[in-house]
Structure 1
Amino acid sequence: EVQQNIDMESYRIQETSRGRIALERKVGLLDPIGTKARHGTAPEELEPLSRIIAELNERFGLNLGPEHRVTLGQMMEKLDADAALDASARANTRENVRLTFDTKVEHVIQEIVEKNFDLYKRITDDRAFGEAIKNFLFDQYLRAHRQAEELIKRGESKTLEFKATLRWNLREDRRDDTVITHAVLRTIAAFLNTEGGDLLIGVADDGAIVGIEADRLESDDQFMRHLAQVARNGLGDRASTCIDPKTQIVQGKTVCVVSCQRSPEPVLLKWKGMEVDAGGDFFIRSGPGTVRLPPESASHYIRTRFPAASTSPPVPYA
């Protein structure tokens, strides 16, 4: 009888706190029960959702909280469970996957209207915010559904490139942290400044599997730390948060898939004196290649691609 007087559809789960709970009658602490995340991942692996919330708050001057993170998690679960979208992600180019994703995510957005009307209204009323949410969700989705072996079969494109190594010159059989690493960072910068993309390290231009073992670092973990460090040094701390590397085994060798999301601000590359302009070089993707834009062209591109940054573009394009 009570249930008949309550609109149960208007209720939703809302995260209000997290942590350890003190027991009332016994000495000790009760740890939170682990919840099963999508694909069975541990809760700490959902940290990217918290990062998305933090970036949205900073970019749009908002105060989105845990309840919005919960809603984003529910949206991701819906997208993750979509078999047709998963098939598209594994078999198509990034551009074609995005077309399918945009259709699917619109349905998912409509489903949150009762659970989180505030977020729904902001997504639908504020075009820039809505696009930012969709971009974040798309990049997060691809990270979980893109397999290196399938990507290699497609060959290089505007949003996919292969690099044999991060720092080792295979032709001369020596370490080259300058030219070889610059080529990797240049590709990452171009992806960030254009539409995002996937960089596969450990794969030759012709698709042959080289493996990151060729970089002669002691372990995969050391390779990942080295990649993170050079990204911060060459592209800056903020830009480095837009890349998400992970390793996969292909034909018995380790390949690093670097997923690069579209950056919300211009990214310049400065690396060991390789830059043409003192303030850093600006790269974009053009077809299956990376090109450096001269200052005048870069300024025009920045005004179009990054309108929020056009009032104070980075040196040397002021």
Structure 2
Amino acid sequence: MEDAMIDEFLIEADEMFELAEVGLLNIDKGESFDVNFNQIFRSFHNLKGAAGMFGLELLQEHMHKVETLFESTRDIGKISKKEIDFFLDAVDVARDILKGEDVDFVVVDKLSDLDQEVTLSVHVDKIKKVKEAVEHSVINKNTPLVFIVDDEEEIVEILSFALESEGYRVKGYTNGHDLVEDLEEDPDLILSDIKMPEIDGLKLLKEVHAVHPEIPFIFFSGFITKEVMMESLSYGAQGFLEKPIDLEYVKKMARLAINRYRSKKLLEKSIDYIMYQFSDLDKYLEESGKENVRRTLKTELEIILEQRKNLKNAA
């Protein structure tokens, strides 16, 4: 498996955990069981399939048991508060398994084995904590994050204010080393001065793209030479802004770069979802003797993956 696919799976797994939690929260507050059942079940099923695809046997076994138990609620058409708490705990355990942590959690054979006595205060406290965690995560993921770096603090403040007024989350830096340390936050765009002490813009670009080659990078400077521009483009820079900076133009460039970046991530996500689902479908087709359909689907998937590889190499 490509390392990039594994990294993408870790991101997708976190989103599937959240989808399951949101569905359980919705049922708890009285929303449609059927609608939320489908969302939760798909999340559990996709996690199980993806875990199998990547050889994560412990996670696959855990999610298989959880999925089976949750599916048993379909005919009943409802789920108790104790069962909601159980499945929320099961999601937390799945997260821990994915992190490689030791877990101590018993998945019951059937939901009727659960102790159905649950105090309302305990349940409300659990739901409140999960809701706060999900809301914080959803807000952070849906709002684009922009990193800005310039050794002149005033420039950072001006650009930050301009982009925050557009609804973006912004983190400002006066040196590139601090920015590199924060790359785990996965920014949607980096705006950087070219001439800076310690680590200049071009060196920063190389360091960033060595870790996250897809992140769009836009330079700004009082004087941009043709040589610097060509070298920057060869390392993946996507745009240039001259000082004094036109803030309206900055907003337009930021919006375009972020939209392209997020669209590409969505395409990657869609391909990975297909791959996750194919593991289950391939097994079914093999058992059903539909070898021609199986071969055709495999060929189409190989073409899609080859095209994705070519797009990455062309970027």
TM over 0.5: no
Relative to its length, the structure with more strand (as a share) is: 1
Higher helix share: 2
TM-score by length of 2: 0.26
